[in-house]
């Protein structure tokens, strides 16, 4: 009888500690799940705008891309502007210059142009967006009003731009930009003296 009692005590002791151990494991697992859920909740706090943007229709996304591009163009934010333009973008300017092929060539032309300008303002209006049936290509056109100090002198211009966009990796990027500068009509000049040639306006986005 004495020989069986220690075994029974040992068994009861093991059972009790096994129960305690299981309780600890359960509590720790609940704590881990709670921490994970809390972390997930905290991580998700800055994401609602992105989730809302992801759920937006494509024409809204495209309009946002155009706004981002023009905003970055005005303030000279090259990094943000590059996010809206494809690396193989082609840009036809509103001046008598060859098309710029590729981001690198466009960037060089833009930086040379931007260095001459201060107090830049570009207003967009009458934007029209169309999406191809396959949902992978789209085109947009809009009118713009430009004003700035160029080479220290105030300048204003108007024009129209047509963009071609492609959806790449679920994001819309500009793959072609064709800008036309609208020349304002001038009153007839007298025969003498001969009018001086107008200074060409900088290219517009």
pLDDT at res. 194: 38
SS3 93: coil
Q: Where are the alpha helices (DSSP H) in 96-203?
A: 103-114
pLDDT at 95 (0 to 100): 83
Domains and CATH numbers, the chain: 51-182 (3.10.450.50)
Mean pLDDT, range 77-106, rounded to an integer: 95
CA atoms within 13 A on the CB side of 161: 27
The overall pTM is greater than 0.75: no
> Residue 25: its pLDDT value, please?
36
CA distances to 116, 117, 118, 183 from 202, rounded to whole Å, are 9, 9, 12, 13
User: Average pLDDT of 171-188?
Assistant: 81
Please tell me the number of Cα atoms within 13 Å of 154 on its side-chain side: 0
Per the prediction, the chain carries an average pLDDT of 76
Residue 54 reports pLDDT greater than 90: no
Q: What is the DSSP letter of 196?
A: P
């Amino acid at each position: 009888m004495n020989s069986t009692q220690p075994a029974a005590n040992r068994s009861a002791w093991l059972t009790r500690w096994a129960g305690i151990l299981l309780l600890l494991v359960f509590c720790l697992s609940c704590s881990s799940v709670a921490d994970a859920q809390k972390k997930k909740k905290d991580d998700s706090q800055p994401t609602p705008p992105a989730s809302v943007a992801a759920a937006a229709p494509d024409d809204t996304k495209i309009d946002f891309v155009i706004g981002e591009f023009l905003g970055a163009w005005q303030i000279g934010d090259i990094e943000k502007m590059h996010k809206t333009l494809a690396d193989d973008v082609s840009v036809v300017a509103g001046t008598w210059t060859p098309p710029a092929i590729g981001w690198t060539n466009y960037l060089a032309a833009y930086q040379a142009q931007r260095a001459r300008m201060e107090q830049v303002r570009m207003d967009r209006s009458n934007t029209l967006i169309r999406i191809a049936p396959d949902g992978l290509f789209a085109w947009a056109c809009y009118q713009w009003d430009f004003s700035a100090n160029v080479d220290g002198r105030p300048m204003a211009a108007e024009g129209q731009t047509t963009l071609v966009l492609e959806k790449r990796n679920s994001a819309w990027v500009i793959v072609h930009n064709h800008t036309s500068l609208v020349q304002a009509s001038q009153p007839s000049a007298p025969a003498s003296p001969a009018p001086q040639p107008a200074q060409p306006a900088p290219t517009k986005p």
